[in-house]
Structures are given as C-alpha cells and as structure tokens.
Amino acid sequence: MSRTRFVVMVSGNGSNLQVLIDAIARGELDAEIVLVLSSDPDAHALARAGKAGIPALALGSRHAPGLDKATFRRAYDGALAEAILPYRPDYIFLLGWMRILGTEFIDHFRDRIVNLHPALPGTFPGTHAIERAWEAFTRGEIRETGVMTHFVPDEGVDSGPVIAFERVVPSRGETLEDFEARMHEAEHGLVIRTAGILVPDRNSHVKGE
C-alpha cells in the first residue's frame, strides 16, 4: 500500500505543519506531505515547507477588483481545487486555514478535508476562539475548553463530523499567553493523533464517523 498523501493548507506561521513534518521525518506516520498551500504569500509556513523539500504554493486570497464577492469566492475556490488536484491527496489538512471553503472546492475532495479548530465540538466557532474561550472562563461561563479535528462536509463554520478532540482546562493562576501556549501544545498532539487515525483508515472511513 502506498503512503498516505497529505496536502496541508495554512495561512500563517505553520507550527502545526511543522509538527506533522517532524513526525513524518521520524517515521511515526506512513505518510507524506505532497503540497503545502497558503492563502498568504508571506506565510512562514511556506518557508517551513521549502526547508523540508515539500512543494509549496501561495494563492493570494485578496478580493480581485471588478468581481463581486460571490463570484470571486467561487473563482478562488476553483483555483484552489485546480492547484491541488494534480497532487492526488488522500486527505487535505486545514491547519490554520483562515478562509471558509465553498462547495466549488469541497465537492472535489468530499470526505477528505480535515480541519483543526481550537475549541471543543459545538463551541466557539470562527476566529479568535482561544481568546473567546479565555474570556468566557474569566467570566465564569465555562470550566474547560479544548481543541478538535473534524471533517468538512459543507460550508459550515468549524462544524462537521468530529474525528478527535482533547480537553484543556484553564487555570486562574495563568496568563492568557500561558493558556494560549497550552492550547497550541494540545493542537500539536491532536494533529499527530488525527493523522495516525487517518493513515490506516483512509480506504475505509465512513462519512459521519
């Protein structure tokens, strides 16, 4: 059986990408990253990919003048799909991808798109989830939060069938920066755990599991 082929889509620093690169290099996963794609040409994730010898591509997501938002979104999603299709991925990892993907993209890779989100299922969808969870904790509204991975079946925001999650309990004795560091550490572990789930099951997983 050939190695599992991952495409990683990322918009920023790429620390979770680096964790995946390192785990594969150590032989912990029978997988390979065949492409790193960023929405930001200046994203540090592209440099991480280049250092590891992984093909890297940037497709800027700034709205093109003269196109209405819906038309641009469809065109951009189509361009993303066309860029990825030649690499024949088994799975696409969204590790800090900051755009909602539309059906023009999802339909090409249905049941193969995996998103990482720093919240527990059903909580704090969208951006700034860590900060929002911290604020909710300080107001006494929650006792715990966490990180999760899930499939992306549609245009919903941080929804879809959950693959795995890990709980993180904030502490009143720590700063927001300390809490953020623990959340990112939990993300790193969950990325590897999720990849380990997907590698042996890539020909047998069922949508919704």
CA angle 18, 24, 29 (to 5 degrees): 130
Paired residues of 6 in beta bridges: 33, 91
The two structure tokens encoding residue 179: 């809490």
Q: How high is the mean pLDDT of the chain?
A: 91
Can you tell me the distance from the alpha carbon of 120 to that of 13, in angstroms, rounded to the nearest whole number?
22
In tens digits, the chain (209 residues) has pLDDT values of 589 999 999 999 999 999 999 999 999 999 999 999 999 999 999 999 999 999 999 998 665 666 677 888 888 899 999 999 999 999 999 999 988 899 989 999 999 999 999 999 999 999 999 999 999 999 999 999 999 999 999 888 888 999 999 999 999 999 999 999 999 999 999 999 999 999 875 444 433 33
Task: Please write the tens of the pLDDT for every residue from 152-181.
Answer: 998 888 889 999 999 999 999 999 999 999
- Give the model's pLDDT for residue 64: 61
Architecture of the domain delimited by 4-201:
3-Layer(aba) Sandwich (3.40)
Q: Which of 117, 128, 150, 184 is catalytic?
A: 117
Q: What is the residue extent of each domain of the chain?
A: 4-201
| Residue 117 among the catalytic residues | yes
Whole-structure pTM value: 0.90
Can you tell me the distance from the alpha carbon of 161 to that of 152, in angstroms, rounded to the nearest whole number?
8
SS (H, E, C) 181-197: HHHHHHHHHHHHHHHHH
Q: Where are the alpha helices (DSSP H) in 85-128?
A: 103-106
Side-chain-side CA neighbours of 159 within 13 Å: the count stands at 6
